[in-house]
Amino acid sequence: MPSPRVRFTCQVCGHVSPKWLGRCPNCGEWNSLVEETLPDTGRLARPAQPPEVLTIAEVPVEAEPRATSGIGEFDRVLGGGIVPGSLVLIGGDPGIGKSTLTLGVGARLAERGRKVLYVTGEESARQTRLRAERLGTMPAPLRLLAENNLDAIVAAIAAEHPALVVIDSIQAVYRPDIPSAPGSVGQVRECTGTLLTVAKGRGISMLIVGHVTKEGQLAGPRVLEHLVDTVLYFEGDQHHAYRILRATKNRFGSTNEIGVFEMGPGGLTEVPNPSAVFLAERPQTAPGSTIVCALEGTRPILLEIQALVTPTHFGMPRRTAAGVDYNRLVLLLAVLEKRAGLHLAMHDVYASVTGGMTVEDPAADLGVAVAVASAFRDRPVDQRAVVIGEVGLAGEIRAVRQLGQRVREAVRLGFRRAVIPGAAGDEWPPEMEITRAATVAEALAALLG
């Protein structure tokens, strides 16, 4: 009888070694290699005849039918709905709302007449029902299975023939023929591969919930993200009510779209107009407050950037950024010091984006600079003004993409003045007063005097 095949896999990076090592040669982590016993599958069978090879022009093109879940923000991130036969991996911190979202999606589809199988591996069937009652999402047609054994799950899928399967979570599922604990590298990889085969072979859509590590990355081997079609991350602070659903991989749509949700007593609710929500508590005539228009995918979102500048009592000033890239903040402070004459060397500077959002759009550079200058001079910015532009090291304000769409969004929310790059076009809504600024100094003179 042949001996079983044994290999050692790193739980951090997925590196495979034929022998045990104290330190992974790929990622450098200590004691991260675990033993895996692989079943003997025999030799790979050769195909009876060579496969047919086509040119790319001969491949038939068919529109992908999508099933809309009824949750607009979720469908928006996926690219318009759930594609049959697709695997969607949803990750996020504990308690962020992953199970709440998947239960809501399954309930909506079940109410629309589609058969949905919700597989819970971490909770009992009674716990899942109590959570559904608490959230107010308990449709009678929703099928529920409390099981960890992958063979039993596959058998239930074959018997039920569902249109959507929810696996909560992949770290709780195990294959009996693999002698390792659930959640290990081998179990997660092999279970996901089996579910992929079932989904593609039967045309069943699957939502898979995945755990994350303390660094915020999906737990398990890196190959897990390569196997699935779409990877969604739930972002947000548990102390804030708003959650951001962002796609980092999507084979059926764009990865630039985001969905905004609000966590309340009844679970997750959509925020179709996030700009109005983020600006609802904006202080009036307060120095250091500026409105910017950031672009997340195709959606313009108006956000408030706040800054606080105080004299430092130590030899080295402090710079703190929340929602703004720290290195970008330091760069903008250097530009203000050199090009605009603001002496910030002996001042502590704090910059934050309200609502728990994170801004990566370069168009928010000018807003951060104006907020810092407003706090430094203790002069409020015009409440009707929105600031848009990227700041260069020479102090110039550079053009940004989709400027017209940003200005129209500001007009829709009641803003009547926009400070934009000097090289922008000439066609703007008549309700908007346009102020062009070629440099940061010109923008500060126009807004702060």
Nearest-angstrom CA–CA distance, 387 and 55: 50
Residue 48, in any domain of the structure: no
Nearest-angstrom CA–CA distance, 382 and 419: 11
Q: Which residues pair with 264 in a beta bridge?
A: 267
The verdict on 328 and 237 lying in the same domain is no
State the DSSP H helix or E strand holding residue 350, giving kind and residue range, or none if neither: strand 347-353
pLDDT of residue 170: 93
The verdict on 178 and 283 lying in the same domain is no
Q: Residue 147 in contact with residue 194, Cβ under 8 Å?
A: no
The CATH number of whichever domain residue 282 belongs to comes to: 3.30.230.10
| Cβ neighbour number for residue 37 with a 10 Å cutoff | 15
Residue 59, in any domain of the structure: no
The verdict on 153 and 237 lying in the same domain is yes
The bridge status of strand 347-353 relative to strand 319-322 is parallel
In the DSSP assignment, the letter for residue 67 is B
Which of 210, 243, 272 is a domain's end point? 272
Residue 60, in any domain of the structure: no
Q: Quick one: which of 171, 164, 191, 172 has its CA closest to 68?
A: 164
Residue 49, in any domain of the structure: no
pTM: 0.76
The CATH number of whichever domain residue 104 belongs to comes to: 3.40.50.300
Nearest-angstrom CA–CA distance, 442 and 435: 10
Radius of gyration of the chain (CA): 26
The verdict on 222 and 364 lying in the same domain is no
Q: What is the DSSP string of 205-247?
A: EEEEEE-B-TTSSBSS-THHHHHSSEEEEEE--TTSSEEEEEE
Residue 17, in any domain of the structure: yes
Q: Residue 363 in contact with residue 409, Cβ under 8 Å?
A: no
Nearest-angstrom CA–CA distance, 393 and 336: 10
Span 9-40, pLDDT tens digits: 887 777 888 888 888 888 888 888 877 776 55
Question: Cis ω on the peptide bond leading into residue 86 (within 30° of 0)?
Answer: no
Residue identified by tokens 């030899």 is: 315
Nearest-angstrom CA–CA distance, 120 and 134: 17
pLDDT of residue 38: 65
The verdict on 193 and 262 lying in the same domain is yes
Nearest-angstrom CA–CA distance, 90 and 107: 17
Residue identified by tokens 């929340």 is: 322
Number of domains present in the structure of the chain = 3
Residue 61 makes CB contacts below 8 A (sequence gap 6+) with none
In the DSSP assignment, the letter for residue 110 is H
The bridge status of strand 385-387 relative to strand 417-421 is parallel
Q: Residue 169 in contact with residue 163, Cβ under 8 Å?
A: no
* Residues spanned by the domain of 26: 5-38
Nearest-angstrom CA–CA distance, 321 and 77: 27
- Copy the structure tokens of residue 169: 């979570």
Q: Quick one: which of 324, 407, 433 has its CA closest to 372?
A: 324
The verdict on 291 and 227 lying in the same domain is no
Residue 7, phi-psi category: left (phi > 0), alpha (psi -120 to 50), beta (remainder): beta
Residue 254, in any domain of the structure: yes
Which of 242, 272, 302 is a domain's end point? 272
Which of 230, 245, 272 is a domain's end point? 272
pLDDT of residue 2: 43
Give Cα 407 distance to the centre of its chain.
Answer: 25
Burial of 169 (0-12, 13-18, 19+ CB in 10 A): buried
The bridge status of strand 289-296 relative to strand 299-311 is antiparallel
The verdict on 230 and 319 lying in the same domain is no
The verdict on 359 and 424 lying in the same domain is yes
Residue 30, in any domain of the structure: yes
The verdict on 151 and 14 lying in the same domain is no
The verdict on 186 and 290 lying in the same domain is no
Q: Which residues pair with 23 in a beta bridge?
A: 30
For helices 185-202 and 150-160, the axis angle rounded to 10 degrees is 10
Tens of pLDDT along the chain (449 residues) come to 344 567 888 877 778 888 888 888 888 888 888 777 765 555 555 666 788 888 988 888 776 688 898 899 999 999 889 999 999 999 988 888 899 999 999 999 999 889 999 999 989 999 999 988 888 877 778 999 999 999 999 999 999 999 999 999 899 999 998 888 888 888 888 899 999 999 999 999 999 999 887 766 777 767 788 899 999 998 877 667 788 898 989 998 888 788 889 888 777 889 888 888 888 888 888 999 999 999 887 789 999 999 999 999 888 899 999 999 999 999 999 999 999 999 999 999 999 998 878 898 999 999 999 999 999 999 999 999 999 999 999 999 999 998 999 999 999 899 999 999 988 877 888 899 999 999 999 999 999 98
In the DSSP assignment, the letter for residue 65 is -
The verdict on 264 and 294 lying in the same domain is no
The verdict on 117 and 266 lying in the same domain is yes
